[in-house]
Structure 1
């Protein structure tokens, strides 16, 4: 499994608006593409002194599946216009990690 990590930052005032855009437009848009090998997405949020950081972690079966989602330049970030309007800044590329082990104790 491959994890695709991306970071975006917004103001305290725009944090809830960005989360709403992410969960009602961006993620459903990704899921509507029915990408083979796409396994899901996690959204993390961290309050900082002067901004809010969001991290998305998308899970794919393989790097080939990420290339099917993003194209040959698969490290390029995917930030739709609606999200760009409420973000302060964001990673221009995503990082990709091979999941070697996962232990859940929920």
Structure 2
């Protein structure tokens, strides 16, 4: 199966969209909590610039990771599973081959 040429049924698209949103919300909520925890530690100007750099890096990372393009979605899901933002069982409804590929890639 060439993952960039895989078709997605209507059901798979719904499952994928829900899983994608779930992972995104988890990561964003974790980031918001981290921002709240770290904002209280700002005491000097240098702390502000460090915090700014941290936020810029995280924004770049998150914007690059969450690509809802069906040609790369298997890879996106594998990354999200590997990082713990998504669980394979949340992808039930996808084709078994897709789930197997995501599982394999997440262990690399």
Q: TM-score, normalised by structure 2?
A: 0.39
Structure showing greater radius of gyration is 2
- For normalisation by structure 1, the TM-score amounts to 0.39
Structure number having the greater strand percentage: 1
